[in-house]
Amino acid sequence: MKSILFLATSLLLSLSVHAEAPDIASGQRLFTESRCLECHGVDVFTSKDRKVKNLAGLESKVRQCDANLSTNWFDDQILDVVAYLNSTYYKFKPTTANETAKAAAGALIDVAEKPQTE
Ligand code: HEC
């Protein structure tokens, strides 16, 4: 009985943790374990000519490439990967209310608070 309770509690915990904040470590795992680097390297994320200009753009690009690859990530996995790519390469501050709300959830806030050198 105790172990069932424990299992139920940890399941609940992991579910709620996931619902609240994007998980950069999970994003990194998903990104490196998927075939994301088959068509391009990570250099496209830092190139001067990169196309993505903000967090919303990053999210839509990740969704598009996820669809191309048929990875079928869930929404929270997409957001984990977005958080990972943003914290590692793009370093966007959240700009819209929606992005601010997501950032307020946690993981992106570190990036947002770093002074930007522009
Ligand atoms: C089938 C080939 C292919 C795969 C696999 C692929 N991508 Fe892409 N990706 C592209 C192409 C092509 C572009 C450039 C599109 C453009 O020029 O707008 C791109 C661009 C991007 C960009 C934007 C780069 C910029 O200009 O700032 C991101 C972010 C990205 N991909 C993420 C991913 C992720 C995450 C995965 C794994 C789910 C992935 N890609 C897998 C083809 C692919």
Per-residue pLDDT reduced to its tens digit, 61-73: 999 999 999 999 9
Q: Is the pTM of this model over 0.85?
A: no
Pocket test for ligand 1, best of 35, 39, 74 (most atoms within 8 A of CB): 39
For residues 17 and 21, what is the distance between their CA atoms, to the nearest angstrom?
A: 6
Q: Cα of 72 to ligand 1 centre, how many Å? A: 15
Contacts of 48 (CB under 8 A, 6+ apart): none
Q: Is the pLDDT of residue 115 over 70?
A: no
Q: Which atom of ligand 1 is nearest to the CA of 81?
A: 35
For residue 30, count other CB atoms closer than 10 A to its CB.
19
